[in-house]
Chains A and B, each alone.
Chain A
Amino acid sequence: MQKMKLVVVGNGMAGMRVVEELLKIAPDIYDITVFGDEPYPNYNRIMLSPVLANEQTINDIILNTREWYAENNITLHTSARINKIDRKNRVVYAEDGTSAEYDRLLLATGSKPFMPPIPGKELAGVLGYRDIKDTNDMIEAAKLHKHAVVIGGGLLGLEAANGLKIQGMEVTVVHKNEWLLEKQLDKTAGKMLQKNLEAKGLNFLLKKNTELLIGDGSDAVTGGRVKTVRFTDGLEIPADLVVMAVGIRPNFALAESAGIYCNKGIVVNDTMQTYDPRIYAVGECVAHRGISYGLVAPLFEMAKVCATHLANFGIGIYKGSVTSTKLKVTGIDLFSAGDFAGSHEADDGREEIVLHDAVGGIYKKLVIKNDKIIGGVLYGDTADGSWYFQMLRDGKAIHEIRDSLMFGQDSLGNTGHQGQDKAAAMTNEMEVCGCNGVCKGTIVKAIQDHGLFTIDDVKKQTKAGSSCGSCVGLVEQILASTLGGGYAPPSTSKAVCGCTDKNHEEVRAEIRTHKYLNIPDAMKGMGWRTPNGCATCRPALNYYLLSTWPHEAVDDPQSRFINERVHANIQKDGTYSVIPRMYGGVTTPSQLRKIADVADKYAVPMVKVTGGQRIDLLGVKKEDLVGMWKDLDMPSGYAYAKGIRTVKTCVGSEFCRFGTQNSTQMGIDIEKAFDHMWAPHKVKFAVSGCPRNCAESGIKDVGVIGVDSGWEIYVGGNGGIKTEVAQFLCKVKTSDEVLEYSGAFIQIYREEARYLDRTVHWIERVGLEYVKQRVMEDADGRKAAYERLLYALQGAIEPWGERVQNRENHKEFETITV
């Protein structure tokens, strides 16, 4: 079949991002031709400021080399500005005479600096700040001239001013507002910023309007080179270089000349299609729902949507973006997002929380309305910017954390990275990811060299954060500070994996609504892009099916991770470990004898007591598993499962002189009642017989603590990557109530959490209040949830015994010898 022709006009970040996304999901359907009017391959425009500031070179910021275009069979025309689109014959023409036919056309013509109509703006030495050429012109001007004037105290203007100062010029920033960055900062933060920049040697003229640029008269026709800037109040200052940075305007002249509907930008619908159905547009040149964006994060969101439509998937909708900004001036940390006007500026019930340390140079303001963050400004300490921004985008209710909100995310996981939780304080040699041995410098370099923009990109490229995940918060900080304004944290409500655009909640809802009972039907019904998913979505789907339709859905062993498929834990050398259940951690001499005999018979290399109060036989060959299970004649301990693991107990009132309740028996009862239970992730219980809490109930998914008058139940604890103390759920009187309340809690978690969420992650998202409402206030709902759990567990089959019985059905365990 002949491939369709895709022509991309614009070789910038937006257009090429579409091409990259398209190559990922549908590499073979187009012959791609790209036209760019600059002489370079695709580069990272947001890194021009670090280039001007001598922190990076042009080579550092190239995103796709010419070799990359060649390897992907993309025809690249550089220095080729398209000046005509013949929509009838579907051809584009470049100024240099090149032409190309298209079946689909993608316009990504970006924006151009707005040049205000000030007399003298045509003089030599007056320029905008947009591309590599402008950057080089500034660097050259700095070698010959002394006085620079930057008109516009916005992000771009300040970055230009900072760069020119570093290049050795005397720089004055002219701004018509009362404070800098008025679109990003409130007055307090704007004034702090000005003070810091003045300390770096920049001069500011605020509340000034430029009237006229005066030339040196060296050329009678053009007026020569700029020499002086005059303001409306009569003040004149010397200027050999004037940088106009008062804003950008979408560049849509080409589209307009071709008769495509434009209104302050190329008008597109939510699929990024223009009024001509063969023509798409993305990036700064478009007007989407009346808004044009000038930051990189929205462009990438558009690119993703556009690529799915170019790939003929017909899915994905762009709904607009909430943006956040950072200033890329080394040594100055500021972050702002959303609507940060304070309560005295907008009378609509908004509240603000402010932390201001004028001496320490720190200012933080969060604006809250209806229990949600709607905007914020951070100055001096921006480490938590991404965290706030994520809550803003997700519309998260904050009353439960309001007390500590201002102090940031308390800690980011506390093992494996030397106790650090502020990336900025780390040196390049310090290890960020303790699992994969990745240092901060390696991550920074990978972000710069490979042009990475998302956490997933960094994980893939460097492996940092890809194992236990405890350092992801640090990786995110490093990404945000390296990219500056280019980083937007992902919404937590993201697609399950690359095989679908649906998120976990949507998948769960559709499984329930359409009563899908097996993975192929579910994938087909929900429009999965891949024939049989991937190693990420299949285990999740399998769990969702089983937890939604117990006894009806088909369990697919091939969609389970090996440990759950063979009911043993795989080890680094490919051997397995065998952990039999010891309910409540209680064993007997004859059981121990049997375990010892089995360990001898199969020459088990290591016998170890686990943290969950039972015995682990390590280093077992897969072929020996079934034989060992037969000889042990004990139930599986599910030590490998996303499901119930152990119920840890202390001695309790049977023997302990302090014990108030029989915690051992309570533990045994819980473990027996919930045996064989699958869950979104592992589930650990503990029962202590008194508040001395020797069973460590405070760091378990469900921790039960006996007191003289009954039992206290705590939920959402975790002793792993990030130690989380369990929160008090309720107090009950009887052991039956312990089963009912904790069972209901676990069942709601099983039905509503995302796959691979521990209870703590789920509670973090829905709030403890919600959990309390479901378990405590709604008594009927609690009883029904508990009933559903018991129903799901009814008649559960003990997996080891079943495999011993039906050996024939489990060829999996046999090696074929030839």
Chain B
Amino acid sequence: MSNWVRVAPLDEIPKLGARVVRTQAGNNEHVDIGVFRTEDDRIFAINNTCPHKGGPLSQGIVYGDKVACPLHSWKISLGDGKAEEPDVGETACFKTKVEDGIVYLEIKK
């Protein structure tokens, strides 16, 4: 079962930037998801944790459809969450959609 949750109006996510979305995971735990916007207004969502040393990917520099992790500059592809070679690793991806200028994120229950 999955459901779509409202994130924010598109223009509250900067072009070539990201926002952090905090989702509850029960037991007072939470998971942070980075919601990214490319220059051509595509929206991607990936787990906000770099597969290398856990850096917050949402804080990195976004270019093309990639983000460079702010801690050690691993390049993570926003489309599939995979690290650019020769680094190896991946982070989880989430589906997104934009309707009437509002960004939605699919979270599996």
Contact = CB atoms under 8 A, between A and B. Distances in A.
Interface of A: 460-461, 467, 530-535, 538-539, 557-562, 566, 570, 572-574, 811-812, 815-818
B63 A572 contact: no
Given A559-B61, A574-B56, 15 more contacts: A461-B86, A534-B68, A535-B63, A535-B75, A538-B63, A539-B61, A557-B14, A557-B17, A558-B17, A559-B16, A572-B53, A573-B54, A811-B12, A812-B14, A818-B6
A818 B21 contact: yes
A493 to B, nearest CB: 23
Contact of B63 (A532, A562, A566, A816): A532
Given A532-B39, A574-B56, A816 B19 contact: yes
B7 interface: yes
A461 B55 CA distance: 21
B21 A535 contact: no
A530 B63 contact: yes
B61 A561 contact: yes
B72 interface: yes
Interface string B74-93: 01000000000010000000
B84 to A, nearest CB: 10
A645 to B, nearest CB: 19
Nearest to A461: B86
B22 interface: yes
Nearest to B70: A562
Interface string B1-28: 0000111100010111101111110000
Contacts of B64: 530-532, 534
A157 to B, nearest CB: 38
Contact of A535 (B15, B68, B86): B68
A20 to B, nearest CB: 13
Given A532-B16, A535-B68, A562 B39 contact: no
Contact of A467 (B23, B62, B72, B86): B72
B60 interface: yes
Nearest to B69: A535
A460 B70 CA distance: 17
Nearest to B62: A558
A572 B39 CA distance: 28
Nearest to A574: B56
A815 B39 CA distance: 22
Contacts of A538: 61, 63
Contacts of B72: 467
B71 interface: yes
Contacts of B73: 535
A816 B7 contact: yes
Contacts of B32: 815
A811 B107 CA distance: 23
B105 interface: yes
Contacts of B19: 811-812, 815-816
Contacts of A461: 86
B60 A535 contact: yes
A558 B15 contact: yes
Contacts of B15: 558
A566 B15 CA distance: 16
Nearest to A558: B16
B55 to A, nearest CB: 7
Contacts of B107: 818
A533 B5 contact: no
B39 to A, nearest CB: 5
A816 B6 CA distance: 10
B107 to A, nearest CB: 7
A817 B55 CA distance: 20
B86 A562 contact: no
A531 B19 CA distance: 22
Nearest to A467: B72
B71 A816 contact: no
A558 B14 contact: yes
Contacts of A817: 21-22
A557 B62 CA distance: 11
Contacts of A570: 56, 59, 70-71
29 contacts: A460-B86, A467-B72, A532-B16, A533-B63, A535-B60, A535-B61, A535-B73, A538-B61, A557-B17, A558-B16, A559-B16, A561-B61, A561-B70, A562-B59, A562-B61, A570-B56, A572-B71, A573-B54, A574-B55, A574-B56, A812-B14, A812-B17, A815-B22, A816-B7, A816-B8, A816-B35, A818-B5, A818-B7, A818-B24
A811 B22 CA distance: 15
Nearest to A575: B56
A597 B12 CA distance: 33
